[in-house]
Structure 1
Amino acid sequence: MTHVQHLKPFLRKTPFHAPMEALMHGNGWIRWMGYYSPAFFDSVSGEYFATRTGCTLYDVSPLIKYSIRGADAAKFMNFLVTRDITKVKPMQAAYTAWCDDDGKMIEEGTIFRLGENDFILNAALHQLHWLHESAYGFDVTIEEISERLCGLALQGPTSRDLLKVMGVGGIETLPHFGIMETTLDGHWMRIDRAGFTGDLGYELWVKPESAHWLWDTLMRLGDPYKIAPIGSQALDMVRIEAGFILVDADYIGAMHAIRPTQRESPIEAGIGWAVGLKKDAYFVGKRALQQEKAKVTSRHILMGIEVEGRKPANGAFLYADKAAKQEIGLTTSGMWSPILKKSIAFARVPPAYAKPGTEIWTEIWYPKEKKIERLMARCTVTSRMFFDPPRKKA
């Protein structure tokens, strides 16, 4: 007789797990890259408004972090990603994408340039194998350092004021996507001015042994600044308002697509602005993207739409007219925005319909009194950046 050993699912805990668990009013944990991660603490709407009116903490420790160093590190990064790395100076960050040879997006994320040949690449999916393959012939050392750093996203209009009270000198002059390092109470900390909320905000990175100090200090000093912890459900709301795409929600990474037709280029994913076709260096997928741009072969562009009425258009079909005779695309992420008082969504539309101001229609199905109702709603194509306050870059 063969005995099968059943293993219990094992999730790791980030260095911030204990203080987060103490504030968890419900069992709001989900899995994120093998870690416990909060989906919510108490009220999702309360966490959402805290981000837009005060400041919030979100544990970003499960993000996968790769250190890329060596004599050819800058040359390799310029070969790997779509952005022109020569324009990213030391102690600056940049949002970028990286593609396969067909110009299809493997993933997008943030790159941190700490020195001339010293980079950290943040990713949501494991990419070490692809990085090593791409680095053939380059004098670089690529290493995953995910467990050596843990981080909190401190986001919201009062986030800068809280860091000033905390004693972070020079935080008021840190530019958008700037990086700085400091030492407080004997604890080293790296700060970058970025985030996933589209608001004023920062990411704070410390060594795991400093995690409790960072959390306790922020929560102790943050009460006058309306500080609150948030989970991924509230974060998903603010990132949609900000126009930020999410892997496995708005696109499928090229290495994870079941069918080749599921792969998308950065242009189709709506981040064509992050593709540096004019940079001198060749990068992976450049020729394919040049042809796509020149011959206008993009199947669709991920745009924003404003939907009439109050019903969220999540995963809805899109049509050229109200009669629904010509299907032209579908929505990915969608929501009712409490602060904008609008129903908004990301929409995959053909290039001919991607001009802001274009009128299209969406078919929304929703439950009402124990039955399913159908609604045809008028939509207006717009930029995905629905919420873009001046304070984000000020």
Structure 2
Amino acid sequence: MSTLVVCLHRGDPLPGGDPPVVGREAVESLVTAVGVDDPEDSRVNCLLEGLRVAEDIDDATVAVIAGTGDAVTADRQVARQTEDLVAELDPDSAVVVVDSAEDERLVPIIESRITVDAVDRVVVRQARDIESTYYLLKQFLADEQLRKTVLVPLGAALLAFPILLFVSDSPTVALGAIAAAAGLSLLYKGLGIGTYIARMPGQIREAMYAGQVSLVTYVVAAGLALVGFFAGALSVSGIEAGEVGSVIVGMRFAYDAVPWLTMAALAASAGRLLDEFIRNDDIGTAYVNLPFVAIAVGLAVRGFSAYFLERSGIFPPAEIPAMEFGPLTFDGLLLSSGTHLALFILGSIFISLVGVRIAAYVSDNDVDIGIEERSS
């Protein structure tokens, strides 16, 4: 198994001849020429490392590939020299030796033309930490996306801190505001909100041109959700949190907001379900089951919130009024808070089971229709 040990360089021309330089004797002569020309040149260490690696590997040939000029010209020279070496020596694999992060960027060019088993990066021992840090910083500053992602928020935070400190006269407030802004920025990037917002105009335009029902139902769902939040906020506006506790305030908000939020979820899911039906696509079980899930969750949340409100005395116990059905008379029934909660839970479970059954039925019919269409 033959191995090609490649010393990569991009930059100034090599003294003593045109690349590629092939063979141990030729590389040793090049080491002498480069060392005499500039004893501090890091290429000396790279060439010596290439000779050492080739000596440790059986049936290995050491070669030096170099590119000069601008980035495109240098990369093309490296690619051409690699192809010439592969055609001449026909090696089974290669080991690449580099002495800088800039030269290491040439490795993909080698990998595209021959299998690379290893990449050996040479750093002078006395300056290993400094040089590594230097190349990392250089690579970081050369990446425009990283600069925008890290340096711009950092600079904005450093500028905002003295301004907030001057306005609020409190380091705690200034640090808190900067931390909140940093948290929102991280959530914005991490959740991909920017990408979603960028795609939203196109999706809305496509939905309008395609006549999708879901566009209208989404607007209706957003309106119902706003009504729900407003109804919940209005119901707790007259309650003092210090008297009943924040948990009870939250339960009262949920009790009045959940019906509207459930209707919002139903409107959104119904629109998507109608779109799938209009397009004559296979209606997925998730689309069919989603309205039932929304109702079941709404019932469960309203039941638990009613339980807490009844236990705290905000609501009176639930009561089934007296009714008459001809000769039959029902005197009414006072439900305890636990029984009331159990009815809500049983109702939510029943509705979710109905949704699962209907979704399975629709899915089975879609499969049967697809099989009939393929057989015909």
TM-score by length of 2: 0.22
Whichever structure has more helix as a proportion of its residues is 2
Whichever structure has more strand as a proportion of its residues is 1
Report 1 or 2 for greater relative contact order, CA contacts < 8 Å, sequence distance ≥ 6: 1
TM-score by length of 1: 0.21
